[in-house]
Structure 1
Amino acid sequence: MRCQTGTPPPPRWRHPALGSEKPALRLAAARAEQVGQAHGWSPATFLYVLDGLTLLLNDRAPGDTVPLTEVRHRASERGRGVRIAEVLAAAGLLDDDTEPAIRSWIHRRTNELPAAFASDVRAWLLVLLDGDTRSRPRSPRTVYSYFGSVRPLLEQWSASRGHLREITSTDIATAIEPLRGWPRSNTITALRSLFRFATRRRVVFTNPTARLTNPGGERSLLPMTDAEIRAIETRVTTPAQRLVVALAAVHAADATTIRGLILDDVDLPNRRITLRGVAQPLGPLAHRALKVWTEHRRSTWPHTPNPHLLISRGTAHGVGSVSQTYITDQLLPDGVGIDRIRNDRILHEALSIGPDPLHLALIFNIGHTTASRYTAFAQAIT
């Protein structure tokens, strides 16, 4: 009827936030529209998000950001909080004022320590995490590891010692004497770190670990340090190097597995890879590295008959795989060990999901004895 009479259709209703006079609300609403289209939000979800943005931004002063804790408190109905926070972050309007999990963990676990040691150990762990003028920040995994090693000793010493300055070199020697392998090595490293900190802060007058030597133990099971990670990031530059490191860091693939991969094991469009006969999703880092490598491989050796994923100048004209030593000794630069990277990945899994040797054995195709070593370490540091 409207077409016959020339009556125009009524204007389509738009949420007031999309045309708000408040610049921040209008910006956030427009960004919500973009994010919603990209993620396939339903119309109802889009309206819920706009309602939440209006609630949070309509009365806010220009230039103010929205604390994440307020988003969670005021706009969590029907799961809107996560989406609203995503939109606010994309618009540069979110202030993440939440305490990182590692910080709450430090406070919780040190509160469980004997009172004589709690405050000093807490200060040490926070400096490990944040760094200071004399040390760089350490990863949360290192913090977990160090604390897990010293905690039993602190609890033991608390029966006869009232302060860190009362701990003697004899006490330390007696405590570590029964330890062997990586537990001994990690404990020595952690104790030296603790008492170096205590000496710098004048918590203790004499460092009881000054003459303590560390034979190394089972070094490969210790978490990678930030310095090691930065060294790898700066020294690994070629597509082949990045491929090998990504497969080790994300999927815990060893050199034997990587050299045996063929092109049919990789499904880039569906983001899948078959490792050790098991198909699994490709992590984002590995997916990017594989995409760059396959493009490089195609442009460098467009007519190679070799079916293997990783090829070199020496294998491109045949069908054989690269050698083990090519990966470990020729491809990767000095100081970048594939086994070290792989071990760190397995340890991270053990710390993330809990000490379950069967899970580790299945997901990484390792033996039960090896899996048990990782789970024992994870139990010791959590």
Structure 2
Amino acid sequence: MSHSHLREQLAGTHLPMRRTAEILAALDLLVEDRQDTIRLWADRRADELPDGFRADVHGWLLWLLDGDARTQPRALGTLHSYFSSVRPIVERWATSRSHLREVTREDVISSVDGLRGSQYTGAVTALRSLFRYAKKYGRVFANPMRSIRVGRRPPGPVLPMSDAEISHVQQTAQAAAPRLAVTLAAVHAAGGEAIRSLLLEDLDFSQGRITLDGSVQSMADLTRTALRTWLDERRSRWPHTLNRHVLLSRVSANGTGPVSPYFLKRQLTLHGVSLDRVRADRVLGEALATGADPIHLTTLFDLSETTAVKYAILARQLLVEPPGQEPNPKPQPGTTAGNSPSSR
């Protein structure tokens, strides 16, 4: 069935067009015959820019969309974000410059001066991408972004979670889905992306194993309980879904993709629970309990060597603090010592 024919068939019904098309495409039953909407979007947005910059920005957007032999295509959200950051800067440049090749390093610095936080990071990242494309394809003679780097905010201190923090997490994560997310972060140090991407095929109850972001780990008792509770609810709410992701929402159950990042944010972050904080506490607790061995942390949580060493150094610093300032590693929300992978 073609996409246009499907739209005609669903006209006047209550079935969601996008989700229905997604499922048919996953079953290889849909023929795409629509115009490429993202290319139309790129054409329209580029046409809104001053003449001298229009062709360069348009070529850049298509390069982001398609990639090349050495560059991976970017997601639609990246194109929107990059263009939103670059457009006001290009419009300001157009008041004194005629083409992208006339832009200097001083122009770039002036254009991002005054931006702070994510606005600064987004603008510099997008401009680096724009001029990388322009230099690669001969649109500029020199890259004015060569010596301009995206600044990084220094990370705050990582300390064991307090009793108040743990109590807040336990009170907030009462429903099955958020409790599963917290459990995966607290027991297996799983990040938000790994939790959202977890598939039913990644669960092996018979062998007591779970695969998170490609890393196979033993399934702790707490994890098993949280998974079975959620899977029972999942089965009762969406018994006929074709989606193979463990976590589902009302929206994602009608398709095949993972829940959106906002799903976990709505369930936890907006209520003051940070999965990154829970995950960091789990890794730090393991480092404190096992003598700050970075190799152990790398093996257990599939961390990079740099990250594992960072936690090991921090754990050693905490372990040698004088009495009265010693850290008090807390068990993870709802866990016991027997549920920690290091205790087995």
User: What is the TM-score normalised by the length of structure 2?
Assistant: 0.47
* Higher RCO (CA 8 Å, separation ≥ 6 residues): 2
Structure number with greater Rg is 1
